Amino acid sequence: TMEGMVDHEIFELTNGIRVVYKSINNSKIVHCGFVMDIGSRDETPEQWGIAHFWEHMAFKGTVKRKAFHIINRLESVGGELNAYTTKEKICFYASALTQHFEKSVELLTDITFFSTFPEKQIENEKSVILEEMGLYLDSPEDAIQDDFEDIIFKGHSLGRNIIGSKESVESFRKNDFRKFIDENLDNKRLVFSV
């Protein structure tokens, strides 16, 4: 074992966000992202599926960018922007050539903190998520895992699947996202990994 040999740095910014940094000198690529200690386990029954929906909506518009500009910002320089949601975390991340690190950080900051949740985009995205839900429900190995967790965590948000229900997803409006974010997003629950 390499006990005692730390190959990364962890430091806290003045705003409370922790940064985990590891330098890999023989690579010209940077991987970075915001990992939030927020997931579907933080949802109330009425919010079922909103963490996953937020992940989708982060790409649909910010104070200074429309969806096209968000997607194109790193793609135009050969980079990649992506995200995922679990029961315990939401992650917005990017991979790009090291010379585009600042561009990546700025874009990730924009979608994490300055999403606008345009109503039209929410409506469009509902059909995307309902389609995803259909595919998901057609997958027996996923469905049985959900049923199992529902039994283990009976009545708890950890027992519910991440995607939500048709009813909950169809009910979401702009203010529901704002409320969920205001209740959960806190710099102390945020790590920037690079």
Among 33, 29, 41, 95, which Cα is nearest to 58's? 33
Bridge-based pairing of strands 18-21 and 190-193 is parallel
Contact (Cβ atoms closer than 8 angstroms) between residue 83 and residue 138: no
Do residues 94 and 82 touch, judged by C-beta distance below 8 A? Answer: yes
Question: Which residue among the candidates 55, 75, 131, 170 is catalytic per the annotation?
Answer: 55
Query: Which residue from 39, 55, 51, 44 is spatially nearest to 112, judged by alpha carbons?
Result: 55
Cβ contact 136:165 at 8 Å: no
Instruction: Give the torsion sign (CA, 180, 181, 184, 189).
Output: positive
Q: Please indicate whether residue 55 is annotated as part of the active site.
A: yes
Active site residues: 55
